[in-house]
Chain A
Amino acid sequence: MLLELDSVTTGYGKAQVLKDICLHVYQGEIVALLGANGAGKSTTLRCIAGVIQPWEGSVKFSGVDTRGLPPYTLVSKGISYCPEGRDVFANLTVLENLKIGAYLVDDVEQSEARLEWIYDLFPRLKERRKQSAASLSGGEQQMLAIGRSLMANPKLLMLDEPSLGVAPILVEAIYSKIEEINASGTSILLVEQNVNLALEVANRAYVLEKGEISLEGTGAELRDNEHVKASYLGIA
């Protein structure tokens, strides 16, 4: 098992957000984490990435408890978190944004190969490599943020709302790339409000409601679930 959350309870300051979260990702899977705004999806990812610590329970990555490890150490262990809102470094060029994703990779040749692979994945980034990241469109910034997360050659890529604020035509493109990235061997934990889209690509999914996991199953199982249909897919 690549990632395992065992009864994780956490939050910010004194405000509890997550309660008893049990979740796992197997090597090679795409797992979706679904739920309404404020259900605790991003908090779950932040907890896995080491931005916040679990109050109770544990997060294990490749069988090792990650408690107390800062985000940059977790990156070197193979967890890349591509945060919501695309947070690219607007003061850096596109190429610099990608290079900084390989900050912890000392093997220059490996980084160069990785860069070429990302350029193949997102040719638009190659065309614009010398431009400031601030000059990119929303969808291009999303591609850049994903590309940056991939530069570290992660075992687990966590994507937070990759469709948010992206033109529909680019959403399709980004999702087909997510499958391509997965096929190359990277496991993916995907947070998405667009449930339809997420269930199309995910092997398995969890539904998070008010900080607790209310449902889990394969993509197909959840698509046929009456509660999911009514609450998330808008099918009565």
Chain B
Amino acid sequence: MGLYIAQQLINAVSYGSILGLLAVGYTMIYGILGLINFAHGEVFMIGAFVCYLASSVYSMSWISGAVLALIVSTAVGLLLERYVYRPNTEKKAPLLTVFIASFAASIGLRHIMMMFYTDKRRAFPIPQVFEKMFLVGGVAIGLRDIVVFIVTIVIMSVLAYFIRYSKMGMGMRAVSYDKRTAELVGVNSSKVTIAAFIIGSALAGLSALAYGLSFGIVNPSMGIAPGLTAFIAAVLGGIGNVSGAMIGGFIIGIGEVLFVALLPASLSPLRPLFVWILLFVILFTKPSGLFKPNVKFEEIWE
């Protein structure tokens, strides 16, 4: 049993990394625009698809497919900002309108992909080298788990440093907290918004690669469940708090795994319920999240 849980925890670390990387985009964009970017899960999906298409269909090398995936997911994020969100904010559209636009973008991207590729699950290309396993005290640790974890930690440390110490990072925190006042002290909020979409979408692409390596599949609706779960990780970590989102991702990843491991096997289909129970608990006990949010708290749940 102990060995079983240890093995599950190893898997949970990769899953937590995937959620954490994806949660960063939600938390940054929610912090700055005050809305959930529902299409973020589709940015993630397109990232995984691009790597699959490049590598498995158009026989490019895996690494060029991966780089292309990051570029395309960033580009999709920028297109969303430019053509879905910016027209709304420029016209000062009511939040409900933006909400619907966001939903439409999410469904639209998903179904365009289904139109071309159906929703059939396809095998994500996993380079031979990532199949390597290490046995540590009876627990199998895959090289891909190690790589995913290390890349995640490095990227997140760099990002946390950037947010904490760079001028743009400070501008992002200021715009998150109070956009109007930030503009009055000289912060160009349009630039900050674009930066948030670039960072969030690139990390969604990275998260998608980690997802592909860990779960080995791609399909057009693959972004829905990780997207919702990552959003809850962002809420758990405190909206606008990038390090909080990352830690929230790990907590949910590990929590979900323990939730399943500790329940009888017949109840394991209830696994997706875990995050919703957790969301309920957060909302009732500490709606601002575990860590300090970077928004005026009363604005979060208006």
Q: Hey, which bits of chain A sit against chain B, CB under 8 A?
A: 49, 51, 70-72, 75-76, 80-81, 83, 87, 89-92, 96, 99-101, 103-104, 148-149, 151-152
Contact = CB atoms under 8 A, between A and B. Distances in A.
B186 A89 contact: no
Contacts of A83: 181, 184
B173 interface: yes
B184 A49 contact: yes
A87 B177 CA distance: 10
Contacts of B295: 91
Contacts of A81: 184
B132 interface: no
Given A91-B292, A91-B294, A92-B170, A100 B185 contact: yes
A11 to B, nearest CB: 15
B32 to A, nearest CB: 13
B186 A103 contact: yes
Given A89-B177, A92-B174, A104 B186 contact: yes
A136 B60 CA distance: 58
B300 to A, nearest CB: 13
B183 interface: yes
B186 A91 contact: no
B34 to A, nearest CB: 15
B177 A75 contact: no
A59 B178 CA distance: 26
Given A91-B292, A103-B167, A70 B183 contact: yes
B181 A91 contact: no
B184 A75 contact: yes
B183 A96 contact: no
B122 interface: no
Interface string B168-189: 0011011011101111111111
A101 B186 contact: yes
A72 B170 contact: no
Given A91-B294, A92-B170, A96-B170, A103 B176 contact: no
18 contacts: A51-B183, A72-B188, A72-B189, A75-B186, A83-B184, A87-B178, A87-B181, A89-B182, A90-B177, A90-B296, A91-B177, A91-B293, A92-B174, A100-B171, A103-B167, A103-B185, A152-B185, A152-B186
B62 to A, nearest CB: 41
A128 B167 CA distance: 21
Nearest to A104: B186
Nearest to A13: B92
A224 to B, nearest CB: 36
Nearest to A105: B186
Contact of A72 (B186, B240, B292, B296): B186
B175 to A, nearest CB: 10
A103 B187 contact: yes
A75 B185 contact: yes
B162 to A, nearest CB: 14
A49 B294 CA distance: 25
Contacts of A92: 170, 173-174, 177
Contacts of A103: 167, 170-171, 185-187
B227 to A, nearest CB: 26
Interface string B151-166: 0000000000000000
Nearest to A87: B181
B292 A89 contact: no
Given A91-B173, A96-B173, A100-B186, 8 more contacts: A51-B183, A83-B181, A89-B177, A89-B181, A92-B177, A100-B182, A101-B185, A103-B171
Contacts of A90: 177, 296
A72 B183 contact: yes
Contacts of A100: 170-171, 174, 182, 185-187
Contacts of B183: 51, 70-72
Contacts of B176: 91
A71 B184 contact: yes
Contacts of B296: 90
Contacts of B294: 91
Interface string B211-252: 000000000000000000000000000001000000000000
Given A96-B170, A100-B170, A103-B171, A89 B178 contact: yes
A74 B30 CA distance: 27
A5 B297 CA distance: 38
B171 to A, nearest CB: 6
Contacts of A91: 173, 176-177, 240, 292-295
B290 to A, nearest CB: 15
B173, B176, B293: residue with the most chain A Cβ atoms closer than 10 Å: B173
A47 to B, nearest CB: 13
A123 B178 CA distance: 26
A51 B182 CA distance: 12
A143 to B, nearest CB: 15
Contacts of B177: 89-92
A51 B180 contact: yes
